[in-house]
Amino acid sequence: MKIDVDRTKCVGLGLCEAADPEHFEVNDDGKLMLVRDSFTEDERRAVEEAVRSCPTAALRIVGALS
Ligand code: SF4
């Protein structure tokens, strides 16, 4: 499974980073960088929390678990 970011919605607030810093990082310019765009089943809970925490609904999970 992968993390998909809608860049037209992301405003760089960094709540996703607070929820899951292993996948999300907002740089000094306020741009979201994905540290990694894929995640394991063990990491799913943290990623889902980050997706939920985004106030602009810019994040979603795509694909099937491989
Ligand atoms: S919480 Fe949402 S708007 Fe904020 S940096 Fe993360 S994806 Fe972008």
Ligand 1 atom at minimum distance from 59 CA: 7
Instruction: Say yes or no to pLDDT of 66 above 90.
Output: no
**Does the pLDDT of residue 12 top 80, yes or no?**
yes
**CB-CB contact of 3 with 34 (8 Å):** yes
Q: Give, using CA atoms, the residue closest to atom 6 of ligand 1.
A: 16
Is the CB of 11 within 6 Å of ligand 1? yes
DSSP code, position 11: -
What residues contact residue 57 under an 8 Å CB cut-off, 6+ apart? 6, 9
Q: Distance (Å, rounded) from C-alpha 21 to C-alpha 15? A: 10
Q: Give yes or no for residue 51 CB within 6 A of ligand 1.
A: no
> Sorting pLDDT into bands at 50, 70 and 90, what band is 64?
confident
The predicted-structure confidence for 26-62, as pLDDT tens digits, reads as follows 999 999 999 999 999 999 999 999 999 999 999 999 9
Domain 2-62 class in CATH: alpha beta
